[in-house]
Chains A and B, each alone.
Chain A
Amino acid sequence: MKVTIDQDKCVASGQCVTAAAEVFDQRDEDGIVVLLNANPPVELAADVRQAAVVCPALAITVDE
C-alpha cells in the first residue's frame, strides 16, 4: 500500500490522525497533515483506508 498526501488541499481537520496515528501527524503551527509512513504495513491498511474516506478535503490518496 502506498499513501500520498496533498498538503495544499488539507484543511487540518485531524481526522486522519484519529483514524491512523501511526501513519499521519499534524504540523504544530497550523495542523496541516504530515505523512509519517508512505508504505504502511498491512495491519494498518483498514485504518489508512478509513482515513482517506473521512478526510473532508480529499487530501489522501491510497494506492493498493
Chain B
Amino acid sequence: MTDVLNPVGENSTDVPEYPMARAAGCPFDPPPELRTKQEAGPLAKVRLWDGSMPWLVTRYADQRALLADPRVSADITRPGYPSSAPIRPGSSSISFILMDDPEHARLRRMVTAPFTIKRVEAMRPTVQKIVDDLIDDVLAGPKPVDLVEAFALPVPSLVICQLLGVPYSDHDFFQENSKTIIKRDASPDDRTAALSRLAAYLDDLVGAKLENPGDDLLSRLAERVTAGKLSRQAAAQMGVLLLIAGHETTANMIALGTLALLENPDQLAVLRESDDPKLIAGAVEELLRYLHITHNGRRRVALEDIEIAGHVIRAGDGLIMPNDIGNRDPEAFPEPDRLDLTRDARHHVAFGFGVHQCLGQPLARMELQVVYGKLYRRIPTLRLAEDLSQIPFKHDGSVYGVYRLPVTW
C-alpha cells in the first residue's frame, strides 16, 4: 500500500539505521547516506536503536521551520519521541533542554544572564589571558604535544568553571563522568551512575554556595533556591547540564577545527594573516557550519499533523533534524562542501534553531574567536605530528571530534 503523501511505508525493509556512519577518510563530511537521502527528498524514514522509525528531515529550510514550530515538542517523555539512547523516565538526566514551554522558558531564563552579549564581551579579556597562558605552556613544553589535552579541553573547561563557580582542580572528576554521559555506547547503568555522581557533586557545590555565595552562576541559582523559586535538585541539574555542555562542545570545535584548518592550508593562512575581528568572527561561523560537531541530530516529536514540503507528518511521529546535513544543503550554502572562511555562514544551524537553540552560543562563539584568532598566529608552523589516518575520531559519542590531536611546530 502506498500513501502518496508518505511514500516510505512503515513496513519498508530498506529503512536505514540512524545515526549513520561517516565515510572512511572523510572526517569532516556528513555520512554519505545522509547526503543521498537529502538528494532524494525532504523526508525519509530512519530506524533507531529501539526499532522505532522517525522521520529524517533532510533540508535546511524544513529543519529551521520545524525547530521553530510550536506544534513540535522537545519533551522526551512523550510517546514517539525519538530518543538517542535508553533514558529512564524521571531520571536526573531530564533537564529543561528536554522540556517544552512554559516550564522550559521559566527554567532557561534563570540561567541566561551570564550569556548576554555584554557579559560575554566582558569575559573576553579573561579568555584571552587563559588562551595566551595555555599557548605559553604549550610552547615551553615538549613536542609533539596532544593539543586536546594541552589546549582544546582546558580552554572551555577553565572558562565554564569560572562562570559557574566550580573549582577547576576537580576537572579530572567531572571530565571523566561527562565523557561517559555523552558516549553513545555507554550502558544505561554506567550513564546513570555518572550522572548521579555529577549530580551529587553539584548538589554539594550548590549547598556550599547557599552558605557562602560568590560572584558566579551557581550562587545565583542558590539564591533562587533560598527564595523558593527552584528546588535544590533542579539547581544542581542545571549545573550538570551547563558543565557538560560548556566544555565538551567547544573543546571538540577547537581540536576538530584545527585539524580541518591544517588539512586546508589556504584557509589556515586566512586566519594566520589577519587580526580583523570581523573576518575572524566570520571564519568561526563557517567552521561551525562546516564541522557540525553534534552529529546525532536534533530530536522532536510532532504534537499535531503537520504538512511540510508537500508531505504530512502525523501527530506522534518522531522527527530528527541532523544539523550536519542541514548545514551542507546547497540551497542554503552554495558549494556546501567547500570550507570557505570568507563566506557568509551566519545562518547555519550548528547551534540548532527555535526556542531550544544552544544557550551558551554567545560564549562559545567568543571563545572560538579568541582561539582561532590567536593559536595559528602565535604558533605559525603548527602541524600534525602523525598521519591523518592515525587520528582517532569520536564516532561513538553524541559530540563529534578527535580523541587526541598530536601536533608539533
Interface on A for B, CB 8 Å cutoff? Answer: 9, 11-15, 17-19, 21, 26-32, 50, 53-54, 56-58
Q: Does B116 contact A (CB under 8 A)?
A: yes
- CA distance in complex: A28, B361 (Å): 17
B109-A12 in contact (CB<8A): yes
Known: A26-B117, A30-B113, A56-B351. 12 other contacts (CB 8 A): A9-B355, A12-B108, A17-B116, A18-B365, A26-B116, A30-B109, A30-B112, A31-B112, A31-B116, A56-B67, A56-B352, A56-B354
Shortest Cβ-Cβ A-B pairs, 7 listed? A56-B357, A12-B112, A31-B112, A31-B116, A14-B117, A17-B117, A26-B116
Given that A13-B361, A50-B346, A57-B354 are known contacts, is A31 also in contact with B105, CB under 8 Å in the complex? no
- CA distance in complex: A15, B108 (Å): 16
Given that A30-B109, A57-B355 are known contacts, is A14 also in contact with B116, CB under 8 Å in the complex? yes
What residues on A are CB-neighbors of B352 within 8 Å? 56
Q: Does B279 contact A (CB under 8 A)?
A: no
- CA distance in complex: A28, B115 (Å): 10
- CA distance in complex: A37, B67 (Å): 29
- CA distance in complex: A53, B345 (Å): 12
Given that A18-B362, A54-B346, A56-B68 are known contacts, is A13 also in contact with B113, CB under 8 Å in the complex? no
The B308-358 residues at the A interface (CB cut-off 8 A) are 346-347, 351-357
Secondary structure of the B contact surface, majority rule: loop
A56-B353 in contact (CB<8A): yes
Given that A14-B362, A18-B362 are known contacts, is A29 also in contact with B355, CB under 8 Å in the complex? no
What residues on A are CB-neighbors of B347 within 8 Å? 53-54
Query: Could you give 25 example pairs across A and B, Cβ below 8 Å?
Result: A11-B105, A11-B112, A11-B356, A12-B112, A13-B357, A13-B359, A14-B115, A14-B117, A15-B361, A18-B365, A19-B346, A27-B116, A28-B116, A28-B118, A30-B112, A31-B109, A31-B115, A53-B347, A54-B346, A56-B67, A56-B352, A56-B354, A57-B68, A57-B354, A58-B68
What residues on B are CB-neighbors of A50 within 8 Å? 346
Contact of A18 among B67, B117, B351 (CB under 8 A): B117
What residues on A are CB-neighbors of B113 within 8 Å? 28-31
What residues on B are CB-neighbors of A27 within 8 Å? 116
**Max chain B C-beta neighbours (<10 A), residue from A9, A12, A15, A54:** A12
What residues on B are CB-neighbors of A13 within 8 Å? 357, 359, 361-362
Secondary structure of the A contact surface, majority rule: loop
- CA distance in complex: A47, B90 (Å): 44
- CA distance in complex: A29, B7 (Å): 49
- CA distance in complex: A18, B361 (Å): 12
Given that A26-B117, A31-B115 are known contacts, is A56 also in contact with B355, CB under 8 Å in the complex? yes
Nearest-neighbour CB distance to chain B for A20, whole angstroms, equals: 11
Nearest-neighbour CB distance to chain B for A30, whole angstroms, equals: 5
- CA distance in complex: A48, B276 (Å): 22
Of all chain A residues, the one with the shortest Cβ separation from B67 is A56
What residues on B are CB-neighbors of A17 within 8 Å? 116-117
- CA distance in complex: A15, B281 (Å): 13
What residues on A are CB-neighbors of B116 within 8 Å? 12, 14, 17, 26-28, 31
**Max chain A C-beta neighbours (<10 A), residue from B108, B113, B117:** B117
B355-A11 in contact (CB<8A): yes
Nearest-neighbour CB distance to chain A for B123, whole angstroms, equals: 13
- CA distance in complex: A32, B361 (Å): 15
Given that A26-B118, A28-B118, A57-B68 are known contacts, is A11 also in contact with B362, CB under 8 Å in the complex? no
What residues on B are CB-neighbors of A15 within 8 Å? 361
- CA distance in complex: A15, B117 (Å): 8
- CA distance in complex: A33, B120 (Å): 16
| B23-34 interface code vs A (CB 8 A; 1 in, 0 out) | 000000000000
